[in-house]
Amino acid sequence: MGLNCGIVGLPNVGKSTIFSAITSAPAEVANYPFCTIEPNVGIVAMSDPRMKAIGDIIGPEKMVYTTVEFVDIAGLVKGASKGEGLGNQFLGHIRAVNGIVHVVRCFEDGDIIHVHGKVNPKDDIETINLELALADLEVVEKKLQNIPKLLKSQNKDILTSAKIQLPLLEKLKVELESGIAARNSSLSEEDKLAVDDLNLITMKKVIYLCNVDEAGLEKDNDHVNAVKDYAKNENSEVMLLCGKLESEIAALETLEEKKEFLEAAGITESGLDKLTRAAYHMLGLKTYFTAGVKEVRAWTFHDGFKAPQCAGVIHTDFERGFIKAEVFHFDDLIKFGSESKVKEAGKFRVEGKEYVVKDGDIMHFRFNV
C-alpha cells in the first residue's frame, strides 16, 4: 500500500532543502523562484522502534520497514490556478498525492529572498490555500456543467449519482469561491465520499510544517504562533522543523554519527522521524507485522481494515483465498519474550474474516487459491 505526501509552499520557504534532508535525495536548491519544475520523489523508511524490538527477539535474516514517499512540488505563487509560474502543471502534481505537507517559512534571514518581500506566515498560507481552492473550483464548475446531461442518463447508477452530487457541488462552489478548503466545508463525511471522484486538492489532509531556525526549535516565535492559530481553525496538525539543521544531520554518513549529533543538539529524534510518523497518522494508517527467521516486515493498512483486507496488502491472492489469521500482539511478544511463551500464556489467537486488525498485530495468514 503506497503512501505519498506532496511537499508544497511558496518559493524559497525551504521545501527543497527539507526534502533533500529528510530523504537524503538530491533536489535542486536555489535562491530564486521556480528552480524546481519537475517534482523530485524520495522514498524513506518510517522509523518504528517496534521493528528493532521484534528483530532482537526473532533474529531474522532481513528487516523490511514500511515506507513513505515524499514528492517535492515546485513553489506555488499567486495566480497558480490560472497558470502563473507554471501553476497548472504544479497543481496537477498535487492532485496525485495522498496528503499534503505545507511548508511555511517561520524564520527571518535577509540573505534569502521572500517572494512577497517579507515573512508573513498567515498571508503565505492563505496565498497557497486560495490558489488550491480556485483550482478545485474550476473542477467543480466543470462537473456542474456536465450534471444536466447526466440527469438525462438512462443508466440508473449515473442518474442517482448525479442527483446526489448536484446540491453538494452547488454548496462546494459557494464555499470554494470564498476560499474555504473542501476539507473544511459544511459537507458531512458521507457527502465528501459522494464527491470523492473529483479528487479535490483541498479535500486532502494537510500538515503545516514550520521551517524555523535553531532557536525556533526551543521556543515558539510569533511566526510559529500565527501558523498554529491558523491550523487550529481547520483542525490541522502543526510541526516544527529546522531545514538547516536537518541538512547537517543528513550530511552525516553513519547512524551513530547522527545519533551523537542529535544528542549534542539536545534533540530526541530527527525531523524525518517526526514527519514520516505524522504523515502516516494523518492519513489514518496503521502497521501490522509479519515475523519469521527469514524476514520481519512492517505492512501498512488503513484503520478499520479487517483481516482479509490486510492479507490483501501482501497479495490479492491472500485476500481472495483467505481462510484465517494467526494473530498475537507486539505488546505480548515483548511481555513474554517469545512466540512460544505467548502461546503458553493464551495470547495467541486464530481470527476469522470479521476480525478488525489492530496496530501492532503480528500476523500469519492462511489462505487457499
Q: List, for residues 181-223, the tens digit of each pLDDT value.
A: 999 998 999 999 999 999 899 999 999 999 998 888 888 889 9
Q: Is there a domain that residue 21 lies in?
A: yes
**pLDDT tier for residue 28 given thresholds of 50, 70 and 90:** very low
Where among 228, 248, 281 does a domain terminate?
281
Handedness of CA 94, 95, 97, 100 (dihedral sign): positive
Quick one: pLDDT at residue 132?
Answer: 87
Q: Which amino acid belongs to residue 73?
A: I
- Domain of 355 in residue numbering reads as 304-367
User: Is the same domain home to 318 and 199?
Assistant: no
User: Is the same domain home to 207 and 337?
Assistant: no
DSSP annotation string for 305-352: -BHHHHHHHH-HHHHHTEEEEEEEEHHHHHHHSSHHHHHHTT--EEE-
Q: Is there a domain that residue 251 lies in?
A: yes
How many domains does the chain divide into? Answer: 2
Quick one: pLDDT at residue 34?
Answer: 36
Q: What pTM does this model have?
A: 0.81
Quick one: pLDDT at residue 48?
Answer: 87
Q: Is there a domain that residue 51 lies in?
A: yes
Q: For position 326, which CATH number holds?
A: 3.10.20.30
User: Is the same domain home to 155 and 119?
Assistant: yes
Quick one: pLDDT at residue 31?
Answer: 34
Q: Is there a domain that residue 291 lies in?
A: no
Q: Is there a domain that residue 294 lies in?
A: no
User: Is the same domain home to 357 and 311?
Assistant: yes
Per-residue pLDDT reduced to its tens digit, 221-242: 899 999 999 999 888 999 998 8
Q: Is there a domain that residue 288 lies in?
A: no
Contacts of 284 (CB under 8 A, 6+ apart): 302, 303
Task: Dig out the grid coordinates for 22 from the structure.
Answer: 529528510
Q: For position 92, which CATH number holds?
A: 3.40.50.300
User: Is the same domain home to 174 and 319?
Assistant: no
User: Is the same domain home to 329 and 266?
Assistant: no
Where among 215, 248, 281 does a domain terminate?
281
Q: Is there a domain that residue 119 lies in?
A: yes
Query: What average pLDDT does the segment 56-79 reach?
Result: 80
User: Is the same domain home to 197 and 165?
Assistant: yes
Helix residue ranges per DSSP H, 106-221: 121-150, 156-177, 189-194, 214-218
Q: Is there a domain that residue 101 lies in?
A: yes
Residue 321 phi, psi dihedral angles, 5° rounding? -105, 20
